[in-house]
Amino acid sequence: MLIRNAPDIRSSEITPKSLYLRRREFIGAASGAAVAAAAALAPGHADAQARTKLPNVAKSKYSTSEEPNSYEDITTYNNFYEFGAEKDEPAVNARRFQTRPWTIRVEGLVKTPGTHDIDAFIKPHMLEERIYRMRCVEAWSIVVPWVGIPLASVIKQLDPLPSAKFVEFVTLYDPIKMPGQRVPILRYPYVEGLRMDEAMHPLTILAVGLYGEVLPNQNGAPIRLVVPWKYGFKGIKSIVRIRFSDTQPKSTWEISAPREYGFYANVNPSVDHPRWSQATERRLGEFRRRKTEMFNGYADQVAGLYSGMDLRRNY
């Protein structure tokens, strides 16, 4: 069987065909956006994203020893459908996305519900640099030096009720600021969720930066989820709401294509995507393919979370 290089797989193949075809209805309307994007890249046009160093970032013991991909790799090849379905579109379309002011609403089964300013939300927690392997469902991978805070410490601060079994995250919904939301490939706002023990695992973080700098817009600014043993679509971006619940939330891709995208989204080389193999991957910037590791190489740390589960059924 011929397996093409992952960057050659277009979004029309990654996205279920019935969803992708909806985009075609909006091509005419999108032409104006294309003109605006071209203008944004014109010589002399100011770049709204300043690269700002984050203070007091500690090195983490949870980092991989692998060499990170370049800043250019990480910031120009992105999955962020709110800013475009093709990999190069978010870097262009998110240039003027404003991430301040920004608030996060906490609700559900929690003792401290309310709306929090993001800077006050982050301030009590130590920033750590964590170099993580990241694996996308399209069979490509990348190594990213995230800067973030452990989700477990945030959850402890928020103090959920003992009855809370899941935590749900929701992305900003603003079709004016996020032009991709005007194209109904997915049902917006984007929703993701974790089981509470997954959320409390020490590898799970909320990222606010990369390469020691403030997180670029196209990578999920100002705050996003990073769960390194799961496929990339689990890493919800531009979070505005966190909700604790006793029932499993329905995630966006699970709703849109349940045969292809499950709730757990654990990297598992023995469970193929219905339209391509997951047994191998290509690291961004390399030509040779690698064997995909179970749980993206984090099996020693996280396999115990799924003891006794059928990982083919719970994909």
pLDDT of residue 19: 53
pLDDT of residue 60: 97
Sign of the alpha-carbon dihedral angle for 210, 216, 217, 223: positive
Q: Which positions ≥6 away from 241 have C-beta within 8 Å?
A: 104, 105, 106, 107, 168, 169, 170
Alpha-carbon distance of 109 to 115, in angstroms, equals: 15
pLDDT of residue 155: 98
Could you count the other beta carbons within 10 Å of the beta carbon of residue 59? 10
pLDDT of residue 11: 52
Cβ burial of 57 (10 Å; 0-12, 13-18, 19+) is middle
Write down all domains in the chain, each with its CATH number in brackets.
Answer: 6-306 (3.90.420.10)
* Dihedral, 150, 152, 153, 154 alpha carbons, nearest 10: 90
Alpha-carbon distance of 234 to 239, in angstroms, equals: 13
Cα Dmax for the chain: 58
* Dihedral, 232, 236, 238, 243 alpha carbons, nearest 10: -160
pLDDT tens for each residue of the chain, 315 residues long: 333 444 445 554 556 655 545 544 444 444 344 333 333 333 333 344 679 999 999 999 999 999 999 999 999 999 999 999 999 999 999 999 999 999 999 999 999 899 999 999 999 999 999 999 999 999 999 999 999 999 999 999 999 999 999 999 999 999 999 999 999 899 999 999 999 999 999 999 999 999 999 999 999 999 999 999 999 999 999 999 999 999 999 999 999 999 999 999 999 999 999 999 999 999 999 999 999 999 999 999 999 999 999 999 999
Q: What is the CA radius of gyration of the chain?
A: 19
CA distances from 137 to 5, 116, 274, 276 (A): 13, 33, 11, 10
pLDDT of residue 136: 97
Could you count the other beta carbons within 10 Å of the beta carbon of residue 274? 8
**Closest residue by Cα to residue 294 from 284, 275, 305, 92:** 305
Give the DSSP per-residue string, 99-155.
--S-EEEEEESBSS-EEEEHHHHHTTS-EEEEEEEEE-TTSEEEEEEEEEEEHHHHH
Whats the size of the chain, residue-wise? 315
**Closest residue by Cα to residue 311 from 296, 287, 295:** 295
Geometric angle at alpha carbon 135, from 133 and 140, rounded to 5°: 115
